[in-house]
Amino acid sequence: MSGGLHEQYRQLIWKERVEGLSAAERELLDRHLEGCEECGFELAATGRLLGELRAIPVEVPPGLAARAEARVYLRESERKRREGAGWALWLAFAFSWVLGVASSPWIWKGFEWLGHWAGAPVLLVKMSFALWWAVPAMLTAAVLLFERNNQGEALWRDFSNR
């Protein structure tokens, strides 16, 4: 049997110990272990190694679990808060577009009148109208970038405080 195939079965042995195997993988491994002493030895050695690793005493600093639980709780509450803010932002974005589409004929007439009254070139009036449409999108993008930057800084502060 080739070394690459044995390596695949070794990976299955480790996967069984760490993650667990699906029924099909379990059946495949069992069939292979019936006829392969080398992989059977690997399975036994893996079991002994993991047993020895479990026997090593590990001291955990006092309060570590409480601190970890508090951080998880804070992260989850922060995620929920941001998720709610995201919906509000999307709602504001949709409302601005609906309002923009509904009011565009009147806004265009206003820009046209203002351009005529000021003697502005038609191109300037059209560019101003386009900018009027772009302002809500630019403000939304600015808010999203600001929020993302604050999230990145908060994550960096948490990471660097460890």
- Are 111 and 129 in contact, with CB atoms under 8 Å apart? yes
- Are 26 and 16 in contact, with CB atoms under 8 Å apart? yes
Exposed/middle/buried for 23, CB within 10 Å: 0-12, 13-18, 19+? exposed
Rg (CA), the chain: 32
Residue 146: closest CA among 101, 89, 108, 64:
89
Position 116: which residue type?
H
List the chain pLDDT tens, one digit each, 162 residues: 556 777 888 888 888 877 888 888 888 888 888 888 888 888 888 888 888 888 888 888 888 888 888 888 888 888 777 766 667 777 777 787 788 778 888 888 888 888 888 888 888 888 888 888 778 777 777 776 776 666 555 555 555 555
Other Cβ atoms less than 10 A from the Cβ of 132: the count is 16
Residue 159: closest CA among 64, 76, 71:
71
